[in-house]
Structure 1
Amino acid sequence: MRQPHGQTPHRAEALRLVKVTKTYGTRADGGTGAGEGTAIRALDDITLSLPAGTFTAVMGPSGSGKSTLLHCAAGLDRPDHGLVMVDGEEMTDSAKPPRGEAALTRFRRTRIGFVFQQYNLLPTLTVAQNTILPLKLAGRRVDRDRVERTLTAVGLGDRLGHRPDQLSGGQRQRVAIARALVTEPSVIFADEPTGALDTRSARDVLGLLRDAVRIHGRTVVMVTHDPVAAAYADAVQFLADGRLAGHLGAPTADAVAERLAHLGDDVATGV
């Protein structure tokens, strides 16, 4: 797909994290020494590189750091330490003064797309209006023909004037995917995008995410707990206790489930 005017071409490396650490809480109550330490290291020295044009699933048990990793990589949260690069450009670097919120927002709007479990559609806007909202917010020109083609590609060409409450859950998630695609981002982050869907709708949504990679050349990073969903990806990165705990290429649902069952062993042995 052609790059929008003024946007830099995609580089070979879509996403790089270097020694990313994120801690929540404090080590003692009010610094008085009273009570137990409450600091939780959600991410512990994560270094990861993802090539452009790939589909990666991120998996791990509850509390392993999956969503924190996605939020830090997507610029929705700032790591305490480390470097995050998107499309070859630094987004956050703990060694330098932080970007202002306005600059970070502009960066996200041009380089990053989002798909969330709860769709995040505005109920008063139509399908077409929800889809073009990121372009409007970024002050970019809206190509109505391309918007319509994008919605047609996700199976909503006849739903442009409908509002979210007139759509099924699967259709709402299709709108969210179209909204992520229409800005032509370098990376699309998807946080449990099929968690609220039935099996058939989930399969359709996962196929659309895979098409975003294979047809449109996007890079997709998806957090999921479902081995079947992970099998749609090119590779799986496993997390446990905030650390990388393994990698699986060309995943199958059975192989993913087997690896998940042994994550503790992988962390203990440094796999």
Structure 2
Amino acid sequence: MFGRRQAGPVSTGEALRLEGVRKIYGAEGNRVAALDGVSLSLPSGTFTAVMGPSGSGKSTLLQCAAGLDRPTEGRVFVDGAELVAEGGEAALTRFRRQRIGFVFQRFNLLPTLTVTQNVTLPLKLAGRKVDRAKAREVLTRVGLGDRLNHLPSELSGGQQQRVAIARALVTEPKVVFGDEPTGALDTRSAREVLGLLQESVRLYGRTVVMVTHDPVAASYADSVLFLADGRLVGHLISPTAEAVAERMTHLADEVEHQRVAAGV
């Protein structure tokens, strides 16, 4: 179930596209470009890891791509539809619920709801029919078919993250964004969670974009994008943990040399 590479359906089309995305923080005279003209295109049915030094813009990239934050400039497309500012937060929320799933480091499960209730919550919030049979199927797929009525406090960390993955998948999103999804897990649980994310791509055609600092986690992806100072500076296909770690080491040296040269 958790093999490194699995055969599955071949997806075509574009799941995510960013065009010249910039994100500026701070007032005039003290402005910082967290993202500085990032453009990328990710095909449907792929698993991409995003890595970079601290402060490189990884989390900002995820937030802008997922509609959790608004770019200062540029355009974002998910499943061919542009994420636009018109309509305010209500429109952005509808956009996310229709096309996007999230898996966070700290699970974000509601402690008073059962496993099944946590998984079906996104359907309720979106005003969609709650299909408990489908929720049970997804939970069985992630290995929790015998934990449907448990509370989060009755589960291990790895099991809670599996619930979070099932919650992200139950709405059948076009793109699933993971923000350090294995950061709070032990090695075995992390490996199982990464296998589930990989399986959602290989077998079910989802597109996964995962921010991580861990080269081993990144090695489960099809490719790795490297960020530094808010810009894309590298791309590695079919990564291994060793290749990712080596690239990150050189990347950190390159960034430091650039900062010294710029007098930063």
CA contact (8 A) 2:12 2:45 kept: no
2:146 & 2:32 partners in 1: Cα distance?
Answer: 48
Count of equivalent residues: 247
Larger relative contact order, structure 1 or 2 (CA cutoff 8 Å, min sep 6): 2
In structure 2, what is the equivalent of residue 35 of structure 1? none
CA contact (8 A) 2:114 2:149 kept: yes
The structural deviation recorded for 1:116 is: 0.1
The structural deviation recorded for 1:129 is: 0.2
**Residue 146 of structure 1 pairs with residue 147 of structure 2:** no
In structure 2, what is the equivalent of residue 183 of structure 1? 171
Distance 1:234 1:11, change over 3 A: closer
SS in 1 for 2:83: strand
In structure 1, what is the equivalent of residue 68 of structure 2? 76
CA contact (8 A) 1:11 1:88 kept: no
CA contact (8 A) 1:22 1:42 kept: yes
Question: Which string of whole-angstrom CA distances, capped at 9 and with x for unpartnered residues, describes residues 123-178 of structure 1?
Answer: 00000000000000001011111110100000110001001111110000000000
**Residue 44 of structure 1 pairs with residue 36 of structure 2:** yes
**Aligned residue type for 1:145:** A
CA contact (8 A) 1:245 1:266 kept: no
1:19 & 1:262 partners in 2: Cα distance?
Answer: 26
CA contact (8 A) 1:17 1:47 kept: yes
CA contact (8 A) 2:18 2:74 kept: yes
**Aligned residue type for 1:107:** F
**Residue 67 of structure 1 pairs with residue 62 of structure 2:** no
CA contact (8 A) 1:246 1:266 kept: no
In structure 2, what is the equivalent of residue 7 of structure 1? none
**Aligned residue type for 1:69:** L
1:78 & 1:245 partners in 2: Cα distance?
Answer: 23
CA contact (8 A) 2:22 2:73 kept: yes
- Runs of 4+ in structure 1 over 6 Å off: 265-269
CA contact (8 A) 1:151 1:178 kept: yes
**Residue 201 of structure 1 pairs with residue 189 of structure 2:** yes
The structural deviation recorded for 1:102 is: 1.0
Please point out which of 217, 220, 245 is paired with 2:205: 217
Structure 2 residues without counterparts, runs of 5 or longer: 1-10, 259-264
CA contact (8 A) 1:24 1:40 kept: yes
In structure 1, what is the equivalent of residue 5 of structure 2? none
RMSD over aligned Cα atoms: 1.5
